[in-house]
Amino acid sequence: MPLSYAFWSVVTGLGVIIGWPWVYESLALGSVGLDLAAGALFSLTLYVFFKAVSQGEISRVVPFIFGLAPVFDVLIGLATGRNPLGTSEVAAISLLVPGALLISYRKGFWGKHVLLKLFSAFLWSAYFAFWQFAASSGGTMNHFMWSRVGAAGILILLLIIPVFRRAALKHQHIENKKSTAGLFLFKQALGGANLIFLSWLLVAGKISVINSLQGFRYVFLFLGALALTHYHNRLLQEEVDRHTLRQKIAGLALVFLGTIILFR
């Protein structure tokens, strides 16, 4: 249920505004509007991402989407004249992006859902660029709070549409609901901390480089997927064989090599 998961992820994430009084500062109406729009774009981006993840193996779909995102970052940067890259940064990205794609590749992967994955990668890049522009002046956390209001607000307003309301509030019977709820809240806490830190980085640095460096997440994603396949295969079944392992190790090697070049 991608829409329902996106809805509750964004709406419960609104809890972060309890820290707003410590970072609040007044902004021009135009700046507030940009923050709210960035938040609304985030909600759309998250929904499309969850939709793409629901249609494939997470350890392949996520590297594919975020592996391609730096390509769109560079294209958007060229179109807007922002975030110009140096020679070493171009060389590093030339290794990081193929590494991420190699991790995600499998025979038949360029199937009927590839356009959805491409669209998801583009939306992430568009959101990052829009967020960087919206939060380019003033306190980053203050802008972040406004964007959370925009992200949750647009989804709450859409509840007036019956078909959206039914899809967003749809739920399934879960046997061990208590442990599932705890896992969701734990995910929200980790995801919220990650999003805050990433939002600050995107304002401070170059988007394409930051996104390329996220290739390290695939190490943990791959290991986590293997662990779930072994211990909780009812939750996740990851395709594992010698060829797959060699392919993913080669991809991870490119990610590490690209990172070394970037920081040499």
**Closest by Cα among 179, 212, 205, 188 to 66:** 212
Q: How far apart are CA 13 and CA 1, in angstroms?
A: 18
- The residue ranges of every structural domain in the chain are 2-263
> Model confidence at 55, in pLDDT bands (50, 70, 90)?
confident
Residue 75 has pLDDT above 60, yes or no: yes
Least confident of 169-173, 180-184, 246-250: 180-184
Q: Please write the tens of the pLDDT for every residue from 13-48.
A: 888 888 898 988 888 899 999 999 999 999 999 999
Q: How far apart are CA 103 and CA 251, in angstroms?
A: 5
**Closest by Cα among 89, 38, 93 to 68:** 93
> Model confidence at 216, in pLDDT bands (50, 70, 90)?
low
This prediction has a pTM of 0.81
Comparing 104 with 203, which gets the higher pLDDT?
203
Q: How much is the average pLDDT of 74-102?
A: 83
The phi, psi pair for 85, rounded to 5°, reads: -105, 145
Nearest 5 degrees, angle CA 69-CA 72-CA 73? Answer: 85
Q: Please write the tens of the pLDDT for every residue from 145-166.
A: 999 999 999 999 989 988 888 8
Q: How far apart are CA 56 and CA 109, in angstroms?
A: 9
Q: Please write the tens of the pLDDT for every residue from 80-91.
A: 888 777 888 888
Residue 124 has pLDDT above 90, yes or no: yes
